Structure 1
Amino acid sequence: MTVNKWTAAQVARKVIENKELFILDVRNKNDFDDWKIEGHQFEYLNIPYFELLDGVEEILPKLPTDKEVLVVCAKEGSSVMVAEMLSDAGLDAAYLEGGMKSWSMYLEPIKVADLADGGELYQFVRLGKGCLSYMVISENEAAIIDAVRFTDVFINFAKEKGVEIKHVFDTHLHADHISGGRHIAAETGATYYLPPKDAGEVVYEYTALTDGLTVQIGSAKIEVNALYSPGHTIGSTSFVIDNKFLLTGDILFIDSIGRPDLAGLADDWVGDLRETLYTRYRKLAEDLIVLPAHFMIIDELNEDGTVAKPLGDLLKENHGLNIEDEQEFRSTVTDNLPPQPNAHVQIRQVNMGKITPNNDEQTEMEIGPNRCAVR
Structure 2
Amino acid sequence: MAVKAMSPKEAAQKVMNKEDLFILDVRNTDAFEDWKIDGHKFEYLNIPYFDLLDGVEEIMDKLPKDKDILVVCAKEGSSVMVAEMLSDEGLDVSYLEGGMKAWSEHLEPVKVGDLTDGGELYQFVRLGKGCLSYMVVSNGEAAVVDATRMTDIFIDFAKEKNAEITNVFDTHLHADHISGGRKIAEAVNATYWLPPKDAEEVTFEYAALEDGNKVVIGNSTIDINALYSPGHTIGSTSFVIDEKYLLSGDILFVDSIGRPDLAGKAEDWVADLRESLYKRYKNLSMELTVLPAHFMIIDELNEDGTVGEKLGTLFAKNHGLNIEDEEEFRKLVSENLPPQPNAYQEIRETNMGKITPDDEKQREMEIGPNRCAVR
Scaled by the length of structure 1, what TM-score is found? 0.99
Question: Contact between 2:20 and 2:68, CA under 8 Å: does it hold in 1?
Answer: no
Q: After TM superposition, give the deviation of residue 87 of structure 1 in Å.
A: 0.5
Summarize the alignment of residues 230-249 of structure 1 with structure 2, pairs less than 5 Å apart. 230-249=230-249
Structure 2 counterpart of 1:266: 266
How many Å separate the matches in 1 of 2:63 and 2:121? 42
Distance 1:267 1:25 in 2: 39
Q: Which residue of 2 aligns with 1:62?
A: 62
Shift of 1:223: 2.9
- 3-state SS of paired residue (2:125): strand
Q: Is the 8 A contact 2:116 2:222 kept in 1?
A: no
Uncovered stretches (5+) of structure 1, i.e. residues with no partner? none
Instruction: Tell me how far 1:2 sits from its aligned partner.
Output: 1.4
Note the alpha carbon deviations across 1:322-373, whole angstroms, 9 max, x for none: 1110000000100000000000000000000000000000000000000000
5 Å matches for 1:159-238? 159-219=159-219, 220-225=221-226, 227-238=227-238
| Separation of aligned partners in 2, 1:222 and 1:180 | 23
The 8 Å contact of residues 134 and 144 in structure 2, kept in 1 or not, is answered as: yes
- The one-letter code matched in structure 1 to 2:42 is F
Match of 2:372 in 1: 372
Distance 1:212 1:68 in 2: 51
Inter-partner Cα distance in structure 2 for 1:68 and 1:13: 14
Residue 309 of structure 2 aligns with an amino acid whose one-letter code is K
Is 1:79 the counterpart of 2:79? The answer is yes
Within a 5 Å distance, the mapping from 1:86-101 to structure 2 comes to: 86-101=86-101
Q: Which residue of 1 aligns with 2:315?
A: 315
Tell me the distance in 2 between the aligned counterparts of 1:323 and 1:11: 39
Tell me, what secondary structure is at the counterpart of 1:216? strand
Can you list the C-alpha shifts for 1:262-308, whole angstroms capped at 9, x where unaligned? 00000000110000010000000000000000000000000111001
- Structure 1 residue 66, shift from structure 2 partner: 1.4
Offset from partner CA, 1:193-250 (integer Å, 9 cap, x none): 000000010000000000110011114323325x100000000000000000000000
Could you tell me which residue of structure 2 aligns to residue 20 of structure 1?
A: 20
CA–CA separation in structure 2 for the residues paired with 1:68 and 1:190: 44
Query: How far does residue 178 in structure 1 lie from its aligned partner after superposition?
Result: 0.2
Aligned to 2:42: 42
Which residue identity does 2:268 align to in structure 1? D
The AA in structure 1 aligned to 2:18 is N
* 8 A Cα contact 1:339 1:371, kept in partner: yes
Instruction: Output the TM-score relative to the length of structure 2.
Output: 0.99
CA contact (8 A) 1:224 1:237 kept: no
CA distance in 2, matches of 1:363, 1:111: 27
- Per-residue deviation, residues 116-173 of structure 1 (Å, max 9, x unmatched): 1110000000000000000000101000000000111000000111000000000000
Distance 1:67 1:175 in 2: 39
1:296-375 matched pairs, under 5 angstroms: 296-375=296-375
Partner of 2:154: 154
Distance apart, 1:38 and its partner CA: 0.1
Give the Cα–Cα distance (whole angstroms) in 2 for the partners of residues 7 and 350 of structure 1. Answer: 29
Give the secondary-structure state (helix, strand or coil) at the position aligned to 2:237: coil
User: Which amino acid letter does the alignment assign opposite residue 82 of structure 2?
Assistant: V
Q: Find the residue that maps to 1:173 and give its secondary structure.
A: coil
Tell me which amino acid in the other structure corresponds to 2:10: Q
Cα pair 1:214 1:221 within 8 Å, conserved: no
Give the RMSD, CA atoms, in angstroms.
0.6
Q: Is the 8 A contact 1:247 1:293 kept in 2?
A: yes
Shift of 1:85: 0.4
Cα distance between partner residues in 1 of 2:54 and 2:67: 24
**Is contact 1:254–1:308 with CA below 8 Å preserved after alignment?**
yes
Instruction: Assess if the C-alpha contact under 8 Å between 2:140 and 2:163 holds in 1.
Output: yes
CA distance in 2, matches of 1:68, 1:177: 32
Q: Is the Cα–Cα contact under 8 Å of residues 246 and 290 in structure 2 kept in the other structure?
A: yes
Alignment check: 8 A CA contact 2:171 2:236 kept? yes
Contact 1:230 1:236 in 2 (8 A): yes
Q: Which amino acid aligns with 2:273?
A: L
Structure 1 residue ranges (4+ consecutive) displaced by more than 2 angstroms after TM superposition: 219-225
